[in-house]
Amino acid sequence: MQRQVTAVAKMLSRRALANIQPNDIKSVMAKGSSNAYDVHTNPSGIISLGVAENRLMHDEIAAHINSHLSITKRCLTYGDGSVGSDQLRQSIASFMNRTAFQPRKPVGMKHVTVLSGVSSIIDCLAFSLCEAGEGVLLGRPTYVGFISDLVSRAGVKPVLVDFERRSKAVHPMSLEAVECYEDALIQSVQNGTPVRALLLCHPHNPFGLCYDSRVLEAYLDLCSKHRIHFISDEVYANSIFASTDFPSPPAFTSVLALAINKHIDPSMVHCLYGMSKDFSSNGVRLGALISQDNPDLHAAIRAISWRQCRKFAWPSSLADAAWCGILTDEAFLQTYLRTLTQRLSAAYEHCIALLKRHSVPYVPAHAGPFIWIDLSKYLSSPSVEAERELAWKMIGKKVWLATGEAYRSERPGCFRITFAVDKAELELGIQRSVRAAVVGSLLLTSLAVEW
């Protein structure tokens, strides 16, 4: 459905108009996230299994904040400035030094910049590392948020990397995939779009898998060869879990744990982390950039946050205090992180049992709160339009899964399902999804027979 441009809309800037153009992906997401299901107050609402959030640990985080957050007068001010309090930046550095990241070079406070979410960090990185119209490499499928983070304000072009449209399909996380990135980079430059960075989500979203350290090193070598930045979004670093699919899951290796200077100028390497995923707090809105050898980048982002974006990039002093309280409570952290992986394991096992019961293929995962599933057998045709049609049918049955189209999947019919939710809600959500898919498929078969 095309949006009518009113006389008032015509007076908006080109940038504003570009951001309000009709978008089928956003339409599905907007509808799916509305009229939220609640077993008691709104049982006929839409079950949301399309957002990457871990609802299994909400009680623990809420209880800690409620019992430990003391709102002082300083919490009501701008605090230590536009990139997080000194205490929080030091707390993040200390946390990373002693947990899954295991940095080869210890992280210090001066290496950390905090803004209002990892999306704000990526937006500022795009603004600081690229000129408008330049590109950033993203492998398909890619986290949907990266697109808007790069495009909306900085005007950076996502350069999507294909893996299946070759003589032989390449797994997106394999060592062979590095060549695909280089091919995409070369083609982009030939087409007039210089590439300034490569952005990975590690562990991968939507696959829920960790990159092997050899693959990460190969990406560093590639970035060094072409003089582009390497950005590793590591928001699921502490959400690695065991299962029957991965009894001994591969260890997470942060880019910070590598011998970076053997592969690339360290000033070109940047790591991202936040409170949203490992700490089950999408709504708290805190994200951190860790860049150990590029003080000019930190200064640039501080200037951006202070002068241009203080209303949406400057982190909340209340949120700052809340996360700082968690990161400095060592006893709580030890119990919390252990419980986090245990609950992810149990929820994952429950989800794959349901998927197997309904004969739904999936990509075995060992990280994050989601699974990449294949519903292509229920499509009316092998097309994006048919996938979109199935997504709307599921919403009609009051359930929302993230579509492959949103993640720029090369293969129609793939969806991402979040399993880190209430057990009964997950069961009902999968039941509604399969019902919508099967009924739609049977209807198409019936119509074909009648024809």
Residue 447: per-residue pLDDT: 32
CA distance 379 to 450: 19
Three-class SS state of 150: helix
Classify each residue of 321-340 as buried b or exposed e, where b means 16 or more C-beta atoms within 10 Å of its C-beta: bbbbbbbbeeebbeebbeeb
**Which two structure tokens, joined as six digits, stand for 60?**
């623990």
Residue 383: per-residue pLDDT: 96
Write out the CATH class of domain 71-331.
alpha beta
Residue 168: per-residue pLDDT: 84
H or E element: which one contains 440? helix 423-450
- The CA-based angle 360-417-412, given to 5 degrees, is 65
**Which two structure tokens, joined as six digits, stand for 195?**
């590439």
Q: Give start-end residues of each CATH 3.40.640.10 domain in the chain.
A: 71-331
Q: Which fold has domain 9-59+333-450?
A: Aspartate Aminotransferase, domain 1 (3.90.1150)
Residue 190: per-residue pLDDT: 98
The residues that bridge with 157 in the sheet, in sequence order, are: 135
DSSP state for residue 46 in the 8-state scheme: B
Residues in the chain with pLDDT < 50? 1-3, 308-310, 442-451
Residue 332: per-residue pLDDT: 97
**Which two structure tokens, joined as six digits, stand for 332?**
């709580």
> Among 314, 318, 294, which Cα is nearest to 305's?
314
Residue 8: per-residue pLDDT: 55
Q: How far is CA 445 from CA 293, 343, 390, 432, in A?
A: 60, 40, 15, 20
Q: How far is CA 133 from CA 103, 181, 231, 232, in A?
A: 34, 19, 19, 22
Residue 13: per-residue pLDDT: 80
Tell me the residue type at 24.
D
Determine how β-strand 195-201 pairs with β-strand 414-418: unpaired
Residue 7: per-residue pLDDT: 53
Q: Give start-end residues of each CATH 3.90.1150.10 domain in the chain.
A: 9-59+333-450
- CB 430 within 8 Å of CB 401: no
- For 234-274, strand residue ranges (E) read 269-274
Burial bucket for residue 3 (CB in 10 Å: 0-12, 13-18, 19+): exposed
CA 162 to chain centre: 19
CA distance 6 to 205: 38
Orientation angle between helical segments 317-327 and 86-98, nearest 10 degrees? 30
pLDDT digits (tens, 9 = 90+) for 402-415: 999 999 999 999 99
Please name the residues in contact with 229: beta carbons below 8 A apart, sequence gap of 6 or more. Answer: 129, 196, 197, 198, 223, 268, 269, 270
Burial bucket for residue 392 (CB in 10 Å: 0-12, 13-18, 19+): middle
> Among 211, 206, 234, 232, which Cα is nearest to 144's?
206
**Which two structure tokens, joined as six digits, stand for 68?**
């430990």
Burial bucket for residue 98 (CB in 10 Å: 0-12, 13-18, 19+): exposed
